[in-house]
Structure 1
């Protein structure tokens, strides 16, 4: 499941970065489809991965998952606000590409943490 989260992030980044090369209705349609596929990989895996972490086990499932859900919802509010700000400043297509870069960097950092954790535990 950890790698499904990574896969979802990489698909999302690819979809959003495609705006650096293509524009118009068809690329938007492809991006929406790719984002749906990415969501099916990553979002469904996140809760199960989070529930298995040491901190959630220590806090208990109610409190641990409550904290996770709080930050998930905070991101659901902050993301559109940041995107709206970027659209107003640099335009729609550039904003999508910037979010794609952010998603790619985040996914690469996540991969680095996965690799580091696997090296330390073995």
Structure 2
């Protein structure tokens, strides 16, 4: 699996154990449990073992969840873009598109501000 940018030093180290509960993963990845359940539906890469109506995540699940969090929260990817990134399709550089759109929006807002200041 590829890595998305720098490691996340603010997150706790992942203990060396076989299975983690959803509460432990939520703490290790700094996301809410309901977000984890939603991401399970969206990302095929997250595959917790389900026993007795409980989820048990493995180390690779925790790493993938941290990767997804980085893509979505730190790098500004959409769910769709993060899915593409995780399967290796980085031909669509969403980050560059959003930066261009942001620059264009700022330029348009500056023009509006000039117009308002000139009193037209």
TM-score of the superposition, structure 1-length normalised?
0.30
1 or 2, which has the higher strand percentage? 2
1 or 2, which has the higher helix percentage? 1
TM-score of the superposition, structure 2-length normalised?
0.31
Q: Which has the larger radius of gyration?
A: 2
